[in-house]
Amino acid sequence: MTTRFEDEVTHYRTLPSAQRMQMAGLADVELRKVLFWAEKQMALERSPGSMASVLTGGREWQARHLDLIDKAFIRIANGERMRVLLNMPPRHGKSARAARWAPLWYLARHPDHRVMIASYAAKLAEGHGRWIRDGIKEHGPQIGIELRYGSMAANRFDLAGTPGGLVTAGVGGSLTGMGANVAIVDDPLKDAKEADSPVKLANLWDWWQQVINTRMEPNGSIVVIQTRWSENDLAGRILQQGAEGWTVLDLPALALSDDDPLGRKVGDPLWPERFRRKHLNRFKKDVGERGWWALYQQQPRPLEGGVWKWPWITENRISPQALRGIDLTRTIVSIDTAGGREDSDEVGIIGAGRDAAGEMYLLADRSAKMGAAEWGRAACLLAIDLEADAFVVESNFGGDMAAQIIRQAWAELEREGLTKGLLMSRIIEVTAKVGKRLRAEPIAQLYENGHVHHVGEFPGLEVQYISWLPGMDSPDRLDAAVHGLTELANLATAGTGSAPYADQRLAGRR
């Protein structure tokens, strides 16, 4: 770029996109070439993904979940000290973006800084280092950095004219005397065998505490990106410690909740442009339930020792189409309001039904983080959809208040003309006089004997079933489901409050 155009370029770089386009459109041919060069430089500087797009001619994958990695590194490059934990399924581009393009981009922004990359094997981490080193060799003039002569090893290299550079290591390897402004830990465990090894897990945690954390500069940042393997993998241990100061991003292959980091609806794929639902269903079949929930859904859970087992759910599941041929004699909406537990943040709202033969059906899960007015309306709308004959709500914690919330919500929907002329479902207040395990075990027995059928998939609820162990606080969806199925099965005596209906609302149902 000639001195003649320096002022124009400086001004151009401060403008928003629309004004830059306008300025380029009014420029003469020579200035337009210079502005095109400036636009390319801005793209190289903008983010790791933007740099990747420029240097590959648009061939590098771009996706919303990869943008989250970009945003984290942008914040780090802007001087923010961060601890980032990003859990993501296999083959979704996390290593290419976080352990290759992002370090290359960061070093171009901060050539005087040092980056450290670690993975389960030294050779894998060294492969990332080799890729970054070769990228500097090929694109150095464009991105403004070059390798120092004589310091070009794949596992450790320095940049010319600065103290900056990169070092790689395998988990468990020594990093004595080496410091880092940014440390990237990419897939610290190799496979399920390592994840199930107490020795491997203990060594990983010791290395994490005594090596990585002691090598950081005062304002250094750490990014851990992995596929989950077990409850006690590195991400699991960090979460068990409370994850204070961490930015935690869980990205399941299929969205599990309404507060998904990408704003997806429940069941939406993470990368639909590459892995559609049919592809993910095939992966689920191939890797089995344990692999699916750990590797793809980032929800590793014990499959043995709990009250529920996966086959009890999966082998008795039916489709919504199959339900059309079944006459339900009762349908209910059960609610757990999360009362009495300070750490609860969901209201459990479950729809269930029973047929004349006593088979039971899990029909809907509308559980979510909601205030009183929201959950009251959601429960009533579900009752209208299912033509439910009863609400079941635990009275131990604010039962009277819960009943009043339901009545107010129903009255409001009635005024809005949304109740379809239905009578308000009866409110059955459940008094739980026995422990959670004693309440849950009869329902688990019904599941084991094949008498409970999930109509479709309910990921949030099903994970809670499988992950719940005796002695743990039972979560809200599970509690709501147990209360509802107990009412339908007539298993409890003093706890259910079951009684005949005086208004004959069940007349006509078999």
DSSP 397-414: TTHHHHHHHHHHHHHHHH
Q: What does DSSP say about strands 328-336 and 348-355: parallel, antiparallel, or unpaired?
A: antiparallel
- The residues facing 332 across adjacent strands are 352, 390
- Strands (E) across 264-420 are located at 328-336, 348-355, 360-365, 390-394
d(CA 367, CA 352): 13
Angle formed by the axes of helices 459-467 and 476-489, nearest 10°: 90
Lowest-pLDDT range, 88-92, 138-142, 358-362, 368-372?
368-372
pLDDT tier, 495 (very low <50, low <70, confident <90, very high otherwise):
very low
Which CA distances in Å does 156 have to 122, 131, 146, 382? 12, 12, 14, 60
pLDDT tier, 451 (very low <50, low <70, confident <90, very high otherwise):
very high
d(CA 187, CA 124): 10
Check residue 149 and give left, alpha or beta (phi > 0: left; psi -120 to 50: alpha): beta
Does residue 431 surpass a pLDDT of 70? yes
Is residue 323 a contact partner of residue 455, using CB atoms and an 8 Å limit?
yes
Residue linked to tokens 């039904």: 353
d(CA 482, CA 249): 30
Does residue 128 surpass a pLDDT of 60? yes
Q: What is the pLDDT of residue 4?
A: 65
pLDDT tier, 435 (very low <50, low <70, confident <90, very high otherwise):
low
Q: What is the pLDDT of residue 433?
A: 58
Which whole number is the average pLDDT over 394-412? Answer: 82
Does residue 421 surpass a pLDDT of 70? yes
Q: What does DSSP say about strands 147-153 and 216-226: parallel, antiparallel, or unpaired?
A: unpaired
- Residue 475 DSSP code: P
CB atoms within 10 A of CB 311: 13
Q: Residue 339: name the closest of 248, 403, 420, 276 by CA.
A: 403
Q: Residue 351: name the closest of 324, 378, 316 by CA.
A: 378
Query: Burial code of 327-338, b = ≥16 C-beta within 10 A, e = fewer?
Result: ebebbbbbbbbb
Residue type at position 443: I
Check residue 427 and give left, alpha or beta (phi > 0: left; psi -120 to 50: alpha): beta
Q: What is the pLDDT of residue 43?
A: 82
Token pair, residue 458, equals: 């309910």
Strands of the sheet containing 390-394, edge to edge, are 426-430, 390-394, 328-336, 348-355, 360-365, 452-454
Does residue 179 surpass a pLDDT of 90? no
SS3 state at 254: strand
Check residue 99 and give left, alpha or beta (phi > 0: left; psi -120 to 50: alpha): alpha
Does residue 132 surpass a pLDDT of 60? yes
- Residue 98 DSSP code: I
Is residue 206 a contact partner of residue 214, using CB atoms and an 8 Å limit?
no
pTM metric for this prediction: 0.64
The predicted-structure confidence for 253-270, as pLDDT tens digits, reads as follows: 999 887 889 999 888 999
Does residue 373 surpass a pLDDT of 60? yes
